[in-house]
Amino acid sequence: MKLEKKFKPRIKARIRKNKQIISKNIDNLFEWIKGAELVELKECNTNEDPVRPELDNVFRRSYGRKIYGVRYMGEIHAVMCFAYTNEIPKNVEELDKLSHDAFLQSAQRDQNVGQIAIAYTVWSKKKGGGKLIVKEVFKKIKNSNHLNRLITLSPLTDMATKFHSRNGANLIQVNETTQNFEYKVIKK
User: Taking 60 as the threshold, does the pLDDT of residue 107 lie above it?
Assistant: yes
Tell me if residue 54 falls in helix, strand or coil.
coil
Predicted confidence at residue 120, as pLDDT, reads 95
pLDDT tens for residues 133-176?
888 888 888 787 778 889 999 999 999 999 899 888 999 999 99
| Beta carbons of 187 and 178 less than 8 angstroms apart | no
User: Is the full-model pTM beyond 0.85?
Assistant: no
pLDDT tens for residues 6-47?
556 666 666 666 665 555 554 444 465 567 788 999 999 999
Euclidean distance between CA atoms 38 and 6, whole angstroms? 54
Euclidean distance between CA atoms 68 and 56, whole angstroms? 15
Euclidean distance between CA atoms 173 and 162, whole angstroms? 15
Tell me if residue 134 falls in helix, strand or coil.
helix
User: Taking 50 as the threshold, does the pLDDT of residue 95 lie above it?
Assistant: yes
Beta-carbon contacts of residue 137 (< 8 Å; ≥ 6 apart): 38, 68, 80, 82, 117, 119, 150
Of all residues in the chain, the percent with pLDDT exceeding 70 is: 76
How many CB atoms within 10 Å of residue 38? Answer: 17
Euclidean distance between CA atoms 84 and 148, whole angstroms? 11
| Topology classification of domain 36-183 | Aminopeptidase (3.40.630)
DSSP structure class, residue 112: -
Q: What is the DSSP string of 72-108?
A: ETTEEEEEEEEEEESS--SSHHHHHHHHHHHHHHHHH
Query: Do the strands 66-72 and 75-85 form a parallel or antiparallel pair, or are they unpaired?
Result: antiparallel
Predicted confidence at residue 139, as pLDDT, reads 84
Euclidean distance between CA atoms 66 and 53, whole angstroms? 16
Euclidean distance between CA atoms 177 and 184, whole angstroms? 23
Query: Hey, where are the domains in the chain?
Result: 1-34, 36-183
Euclidean distance between CA atoms 188 and 182, whole angstroms? 18
Euclidean distance between CA atoms 65 and 157, whole angstroms? 24
Tell me if residue 124 falls in helix, strand or coil.
strand
